[in-house]
Amino acid sequence: MAHDAVARTPDHHERERLLRMLAAATFIIFFQAYMVAPIIPALSNAFETSVQTVGLVVPAYLIPYGIATLIFGLLADRLGVQRVMFASLMAFAALTALTATATSIEQIALWRVLTGLGASGVVPLALVLVGKLFPYEQRGRPLGWLFGAMAGGMAFGSPLGAMLVPFIGWQGLFLLIGAAGGIVLLLFLPYRRIIATAMQPVGGTLGDLFRGYLGLLGTPRGRRTYGYVFVNSMFHSGVFT
């Protein structure tokens, strides 16, 4: 059994290919998160709804995304990272494409809520996976890839979303990104076993999880850090709308 585990340990080339897949998934998810705010005027015109009302589709995605991140971590500990990550990426691709079927702002908001819930298991688990695949002294470069993919998704999503809408329409934009997510999912499939080997499910109860969070927030430094991240995320995301 031990020999089999060693035999399936990913080599350098496998880790690098997996890292590129993780970066691609991260880029696409952040791209679609930041492509919505610039097309608010186009959505407002298409549905003859005020810009203020259409602007609610941004927090409709971001708030469920942030909340569900905590839940996906718990599920991954018990079900396995590869299962949760693949299910999350599948949900992201399908729900993003289905957003194109909306016939009202209310329907778009609903699809964005569901997309936020479904997509939030990919990027946080990718960061955890990098921590398992790469030794501490080698971790800076792969983490740089993931954070660069985040920044790139934000940087390209905001302008390209608005630039593409006149040519393919807002429905085409969501279909395009949904298809891109599906392609990345298919490219991920050969790496299921590598991810499963690197990240074994762990035990523990729900009470252990809450005690862990309370421990993090039980110190002044922990409260300051999480409070800063919480407030910063609101200002950072709100400015785009």
H or E segment to which residue 115 belongs: helix 105-119
Contact 117, 64 (CB under 8 A): yes
Which phi and psi angles does 11 have, rounded to 5°? -85, -175
Give pLDDT tens digits for 178-235: 999 999 999 988 888 878 777 666 666 667 767 877 888 888 998 898 888 888 877 8
**Mean local confidence (pLDDT), 69-79:** 79
Question: pLDDT-based confidence at 109, cuts 50/70/90?
Answer: very high
The two tokens of residue 21 are 């897949």
Name the percent of the chain lying above pLDDT 90: 51
* Residue 122 to residue 103: CA distance in whole angstroms: 28
Give pLDDT tens digits for 27-70: 999 999 999 999 999 999 999 999 999 999 999 998 899 888 87
Which of 227 and 5 is assigned the larger pLDDT? 227
C-alpha closest to that of 80 among 118, 129, 10, 123: 129
Contact 74, 58 (CB under 8 A): no
SS3 of residue 8 by DSSP: coil
- Kindly calculate the radius of gyration of the chain based on its CA atoms and give it in whole angstroms: 19
pTM to 2 decimal places = 0.85
